[in-house]
Structure 1
Amino acid sequence: MAKESSFDIVSTVDFQEVDNAFQQAKREISQRYDLKDSGAEITLDKQNKTLGIHAPADFVARQVKDVIGSKLVKRGIELTAVKWGEPQAATGQSVRLSATIVDGIDKETASKISKDIRNLKLKCKATIEGDKLRVSSASRDTLQEVIAFLKGQDYGQPLQYTNYR
């Protein structure tokens, strides 16, 4: 009988790189001439995996968000891993923005991915294991087709394919 081959579908973020991007963005905000004295602040909560922006105006908040985004991309973190909320009005004219960093695949997304794999009608099996999926099949070519299919889909978060055996 043929040995089963498998791989895992995960969604992970290197929080050290997020911290590095945050530090770089904080430094740029304090040195950039148009943001230096604007009163804009950014925060990073490593425990809750959230980013926060407090800015005096919506325009400044969007500029700070772009700075953070560019630093994250330079550090190799996809922007789909950061889910930004709606701007909230704070005291006076100031605005607050918050974002959560996606780490792991939630149940809804995992079931959607599993359903899409089943709809391919290939001889493979996708099982949900916590915050990851394991896809197994007797044929490695089938697994390669599944990976190629999933790379063409958009699930709103970055996916990595690990533990291929």
Structure 2
Amino acid sequence: MPSFDIISEIDLVEARNAVDNSTRELSTRFDFRGVEASFALKDNIVTMKAESDFQLNQMREMLRANMARRQLDANSLDVKDFDHIGKSVTQELHFKQGIDSQLAKKMVKMIKDSKIKVQASIQGDKLRITGKKRDDLQEVIAFVRSNSEELGQAFQYENFRD
């Protein structure tokens, strides 16, 4: 039976390159001259530090633009709240890796409700889709792509087997 896996992973090398490019851009921008602002990447978490919330918003948009240049989906970022520490403000951005159980259950329900003749099963942090016809599997891929905004995460498709 044909099958494939739906996964959600981000290329950490490209993520590091996007953060490094954002750091370089930060040092050349006129509106950040003389401002204590920085990016730091450690364990799938980008920590941004600046003097105000407005500057952090600009830095986040700068990072999103650099991620787009590196073909990384901005939906893979989980934005946390601002932390005010003294005169500086920090914010953490987490890269989503894998599909958590609640999202996997929601995706399985959506696929079953779509009436496509496939079976979806949760395999750890990925979903395995099996069906009798290859066309049904391709229909599931199109369905998930069309609903990726609602799901709020970037997905990749691998292990397509006939």
**Structure 2 length-normalised TM:** 0.94
d(CA) in 1 for partners of 2:138, 2:25: 42
The aligned counterpart of 1:115 is: 109
Determine what percentage of the aligned residue pairs are the same residue.
34
Instruction: Give 3-state SS (helix, strand or coil) of 2:31's partner.
Output: coil
Instruction: Give 3-state SS (helix, strand or coil) of 1:87's partner.
Output: strand
**Structure 1 length-normalised TM:** 0.92
d(CA) in 1 for partners of 2:131, 2:119: 6
d(CA) in 2 for partners of 1:136, 1:61: 44
Shift of 1:69: 1.1
Runs of 4+ in structure 1 displaced over 4 angstroms?
none
Shift of 1:141: 1.3
- Higher helix fraction: Structure 1 or Structure 2? 2
The aligned counterpart of 1:64 is: 59
Size of the alignment, in residue pairs?
159
The aligned counterpart of 1:43 is: 40
d(CA) in 1 for partners of 2:19, 2:117: 44
Shift of 1:40: 0.7
The aligned counterpart of 1:157 is: 153
- Structure 1 unaligned runs (5+)? none
d(CA) in 1 for partners of 2:22, 2:119: 43
- Higher strand fraction: Structure 1 or Structure 2? 2
Q: What is the CA RMSD across the aligned residues, in angstroms? A: 1.1
Of 97, 104, 107, the residue aligned with 1:103 is: 97
Of 6, 13, 30, the residue aligned with 2:3 is: 6
Q: For 1:63-121, what per-residue CA distance to the aligned partner results, in whole angstroms no more than 9, with x for missing partners? A: 111111111111111100011111121103x2111110001100010111111111122
Task: Give the partner amino acid of 1:124.
Answer: V
